[in-house]
Amino acid sequence: MSTEDKKFDDFDTLMVYLNESDDQKLTDGILSSPQGCKQLEGLQKDMNTIENKFNEYQTDEQYGSDLWNKISDRLDERAQISWFQKFIKQIQQPQFSAVGLVALFAIAVTFYLMGHNQAVVEIDSQKTTNQQLLSQNMQLHLAQTDMFLTQVSNMNTQNNSPVLIRTAESLLASNRIYKNAYANNDNKRLKNLLTELEQVLLEVSNGESKNSHNYISEYANKQLLYKVKSSNQQLKSQLSNQKTTSI
């Protein structure tokens, strides 16, 4: 038997027929050989016969309709998809995708603003609390100063008692603190009062001369005492209003 008449392996022939051979040289050998072509032809013929047998396989003419009758009741499950799946499917449609994006953006912005506003409210609330505390302390300071000035103004003669001086020094220190605390406040009247009080308290704490005592008595009697009392009253009413509002 010559090389050209050599029978090729059926497996190799089938792989060439199916176009799945890994060996290109063998493929070329089969395709260029008369025996290889004869084997491929035979294989082709048999495969056609097999395929024709399958194509002769018969089902009833009404098979499609019968099949539909069997499965139609089982198709309703498709309608039972969840709202979330529907929503996802909807926003995946090209015409809805932009709307979906806008909706998501709007939701995100809403949540951001809600969070932001909550933060602002929290900051405002903190500020209000601080302001209330300052006003309460300021009111206490004014009440003490009121008592002190009343005492000083009631003295007929100069009295440089150490107790008075220490009280003046203490009130002076507090006064300076409140003056700084109210530096950025809009209440000009209160700021001016604290400045005036500082001068008077400074005079007393330094051990006043006879002239200065007269000045303090006169000043305290005529102007400062009145201002302290009215400011104190004003702060008291403000605080009571704020408490009512917060309740």
Q: Binding of other proteins at residue 10 (CB under 8 A)?
A: yes
Residue found under tokens 């530096």 = 183
State yes or no: residue 14 binds other proteins (CB under 8 A).
Answer: yes
Q: Tokens 């089938």 appear where?
A: 14
d(CA 149, CA 151) in angstroms, rounded, equals 5
Choose, by CB under 8 A, the member of 4, 23, 45, 151 that binds other proteins.
45
Non-local CB neighbours of 141 within 8 Å, separated by 6+ positions: 171, 174, 175, 178
CB 2, min distance to other proteins, A: 19
CA distance 148 to 144: 6
Residue 76 or residue 186: which is nearer to other proteins going by CB? 76
Contact letters (x/-) for other proteins, 15-44, by CB under 8 A?
x--x-x------------------x-xxx-
Should residue 6 be labelled a site residue for other proteins when binding is judged by CB under 8 A? no
Q: Which is nearer to other proteins, 7 or 189 (CB)?
A: 7
CB neighbours of residue 56 within 10 Å: 7
- Rounded to an integer, what distance in angstroms lies between the CA atom of residue 18 and that of residue 27? 11
Tokens of 45: 């013929």
> By C-beta, is 59 or 245 nearer to other proteins?
59
User: Residue 59, SS3?
Assistant: coil
DSSP 178-195: HHHHTTT-S-HHHHHHHH
Q: Which of residues 47-106 bind other proteins (CB under 8 A)?
A: 47, 49-51, 53-54, 56-60, 63-65, 67-68, 70-72, 74-75, 77-79, 89
Q: Which residues bind other proteins (CB under 8 A)?
A: 7, 10-11, 13-15, 18, 20, 39, 41-43, 45-47, 49-51, 53-54, 56-60, 63-65, 67-68, 70-72, 74-75, 77-79, 89
